[in-house]
């Protein structure tokens, strides 16, 4: 008997043939083979199938993929805007000089290359030319239904790098608008939001875009864009904050977001920042270390500045997770002018902490003497910093630092005059105003002024106002200079304003009214009220105290309802006086409504035309307490002591 061999018709499935595995699909052609059922593979019997080598198949697929990419690139027009934006330093690599050398340069520079009517008012500025956009057509963009045309974007980018970037040189002026948008839409819109502050071709953009850009900033922690771009965008919005509109003031919480994003990405330890990355990366090069160090320095400067302008205690560098070696290395790596700014902000932070520890709410005679020693120590450190200041911009930084430290003198009551601080305070305040005036004379407008200039102007002017309305004004001080500087500050604030709802505009309203008031800083009997009533907001207390006096007399909603307390003896409180009482004489026996020999007299709001101090206004000045808590209680009632403790 002859045995039969299996017929060649017994075929294996393609999966088994590819793997050279035994296949039993021929036993039941209608069902998958045992192996395919086990590995859950698609069991197919194909006659023309030919086994392929794995490596050859992968190589063929890679070659096919590369061919497709090449065809795709060749079918599209050349586009260079997708190249990444480099994280730049303050060096000449950026093509941008330091703020002072740009703005206050004595050497005339070429006029703008674009029509000067883009800005209001029309000016010519000594500055570095803006970026050129030849060869890369800018695309129009839309944000929440607000469209910004390509021409407007080009205009705004040129305006930004010509007028604004000199105060915060952290962006590449050669990168195109399309590049910024492709890499970080938030940073792109932050640039647009800053630059449109005085864009006369479309004055509606500023407030139309404000809320949407602020929302982007608050959501930036969820962005997939590079963290450095997010930090840069927040730095811009905190340096040029939007005027008040239909959005709450989020400047202070945004400062915290800035600080924490920077720390989350290891900028506070630049040499070890790679250890904070989610993916394995090499240690930073020397250039990367410099870039990260300077970005961290800018972040600290802006964060501490936000805290000071909002009356909060800022964290010093020593409290931000740096050991002494890293702290020293930071100042050695960054540009000298950035290091000076950082040292100035550090002094303000440390002085604020020291004065708080000494006590500001209520001070005994010994505490006032201790405070005077503390402030003189820090003023001496400012003297050392002034020796390092070589440009007008650096001298402005040291003057603002000195002004912030000297403002704590006004917390004193018993030793305020005897300590001899008034002449020094007056000189500092006038020098700050002189700097801003010189900037205005050289540039021609102040709408691009960063927030530190607005705060300096407000702090200096309210300080001068307090001195001029006090009895010490007749004790050998340079009163004529102080009065001229105060009036200059009012005019500068008007030029600095970009919207009727911004802080500069409201500063003008308050300064005019309080200057012409015969009741400001006066008790009911006409005697001087020398101490501050707002004592919990550090450097900001002097400003808020002036706002409170203005509110008492000129806010229609507070008349005959809210009271202003006055001290009887020491820190105790006696009866209150209400707006509308008889006028009292000033320190020289006049009503202070007009200064003898001065042709400048500002109008005072009257009747229903008075500027109303609403909740939005209080939010601008970071008012801490609600109206009902702060003003409504009778000082003679049993609840007055509770309210007094809150103040």
The pLDDT score that the predictor gives to residue 253 is 94
Q: What is the pLDDT of residue 156?
A: 97
Return the structure tokens found at 480.
Answer: 């004529």
Q: What are phi and psi of 235, to 5 degrees?
A: -60, -40
341, 290 contact by CB (below 8 A): no
Euclidean distance between CA atoms 369 and 359, whole angstroms: 12
Phi, psi of 473 (to 5 degrees): -60, -25
Tokens at residue 492, please? 């500068």
pLDDT of residue 82: 44
For residue 642, the model assigns a pLDDT of: 31
Domains of the chain: 14-75 (4.10.240.10), 81-219 (no CATH), 250-334 (no CATH), 336-420 (no CATH), 421-646 (no CATH)
Report the pLDDT value the prediction gives residue 646, as an integer from 0 to 100. Answer: 27
**CA geometry: angle at 56 spanning 53 and 62, to 5°?**
140
- Cβ 153 vs Cβ 140: under 8 Å: yes
Task: Indicate the length of the chain as a whole number.
Answer: 647
All residues at 6 or more sequence positions from 488 whose CB lies less than 8 Å from its CB, including other chains: 433, 437
d(C-alpha 342, C-alpha 217), whole Å: 24
**Whether the predicted model's global pTM rises above the 0.85 cut:** no
Q: Residue 246 has what pLDDT?
A: 73
For 532-556, b/e burial (b = at least 16 CB within 10 A) is bbbbbbbbbbbbbbbbbbbbbbbbb
Average confidence (pLDDT) per 10 residues, the chain, 647 residues: 50 84 87 89 81 69 72 48 55 41 36 37 34 69 95 96 94 94 95 94 93 93 89 97 83 95 86 68 77 92 96 85 69 89 96 95 93 96 95 94 97 89 94 94 87 96 94 81 96 92 89 94 87 93 94 69 38 34 36 35 37 46 39 35 31
pLDDT score, position 60? 74
Confirm if 35 and 21 have CB atoms less than 8 A apart: yes
pLDDT score, position 217: 94
């Amino acid at each position: 008997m002859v045995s039969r061999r299996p017929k060649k018709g017994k075929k294996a499935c393609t999966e088994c043939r590819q793997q050279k595995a035994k296949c039993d699909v021929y036993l039941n052609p209608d069902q998958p083979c045992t192996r395919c059922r086990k590995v859950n593979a698609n069991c197919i019997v194909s006659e023309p199938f030919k086994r392929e080598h794995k490596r050859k198949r992968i190589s063929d697929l890679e070659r096919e993929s590369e061919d497709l990419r090449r065809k795709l690139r060749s079918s599209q027009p050349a586009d260079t805007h997708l190249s990444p934006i480099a994280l730049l330093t303050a060096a000449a690599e950026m093509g941008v000089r330091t703020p002072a050398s740009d703005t206050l340069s004595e050497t005339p520079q070429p006029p703008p290359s674009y029509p000067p009517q883009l800005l209001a008012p029309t000016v010519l500025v000594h500055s570095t030319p803006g970026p050129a956009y030849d060869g890369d057509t800018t695309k129009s963009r839309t944000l929440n239904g607000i469209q910004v045309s390509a021409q407007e974007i080009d205009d705004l980018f040129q305006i930004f790098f010509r007028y604004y970037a000199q105060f915060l040189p952290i962006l590449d002026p050669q990168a195109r608008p399309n590049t910024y948008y492709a890499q970080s839409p938030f940073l792109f819109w932050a640039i647009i939001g800053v630059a449109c502050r005085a864009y006369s071709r479309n004055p509606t953009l500023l407030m139309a875009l404000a809320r949407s850009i602020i929302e982007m900033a608050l959501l930036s922690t969820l962005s997939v864009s590079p963290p450095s771009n997010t930090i840069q965008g927040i730095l811009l919005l905190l340096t040029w904050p939007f005027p008040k509109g239909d959005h709450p003031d989020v400047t202070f919480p945004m400062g915290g977001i800035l600080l924490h994003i920077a720390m989350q990405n290891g900028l506070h330890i630049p040499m070890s920042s790679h250890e904070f990355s989610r993916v394995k990366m090499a240690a930073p090069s020397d250039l990367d270390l410099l870039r990260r160090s300077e970005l961290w320095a800018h972040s600290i400067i802006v964060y501490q500045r936000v805290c000071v302008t909002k009356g909060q205690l800022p964290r010093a560098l020593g409290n931000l997770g740096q050991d002494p070696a890293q702290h020293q290395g930071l100042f050695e790596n960054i540009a000298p002018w950035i290091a000076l700014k950082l040292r100035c902000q550090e002094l303000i932070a440390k002085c604020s902490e020291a004065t708080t520890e000494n006590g500001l709410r209520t001070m005994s005679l010994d505490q006032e003497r201790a405070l005077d020693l503390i402030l003189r120590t820090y003023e001496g450190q400012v003297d050392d910093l002034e020796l390092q200041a070589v440009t007008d911009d650096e001298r402005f930084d040291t003057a603002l630092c000195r002004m912030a430290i000297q403002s704590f003198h006004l917390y004193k009551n018993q030793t305020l005059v005897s300590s001899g601080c008034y002449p020094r305070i007056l000189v500092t305040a006038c020098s700050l105003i002189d700097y801003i005036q010189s900037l205005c004379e050289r540039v021609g407008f102040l709408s691009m002024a960063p927030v530190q200039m607005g705060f300096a102007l407000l702090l200096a002017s309210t300080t001068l106002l307090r001195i001029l309305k006090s009895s010490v004004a007749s004790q050998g001080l340079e009163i004529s200079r102080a009065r001229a500087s105060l009036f200059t500050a009012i005019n500068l604030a008007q030029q600095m304003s970009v919207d009727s709802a911004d802080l500069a505009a409201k500063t003008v309203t308050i300064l005019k009214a309080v200057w012409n008031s015969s009741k400001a800083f006066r008790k009911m009997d006409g005697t001087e009220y020398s101490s501050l009533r707002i004592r919990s907001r550090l450097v900001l207390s002097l400003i808020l105290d002036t706002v409170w006096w203005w509110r008492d007399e000129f806010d229609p909603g507070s008349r005959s309802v809210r009271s202003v307390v006055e001290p009887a003896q020491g820190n105790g409180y006696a009866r209150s006086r209400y707006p509308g009482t008889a006028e009292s004489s000033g320190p020289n026996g006049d009503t202070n409504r007009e200064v003898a020999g001065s042709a400048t007299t500002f109008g005072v709001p009257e009747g229903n035309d008075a500027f109303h101090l609403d909740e939005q206004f209080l939010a601008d000045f970071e008012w801490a307490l609600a109206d009902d808590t702060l003003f409504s209680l009778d000082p003679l009632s049993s609840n007055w002591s509770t309210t007094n403790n809150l103040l």
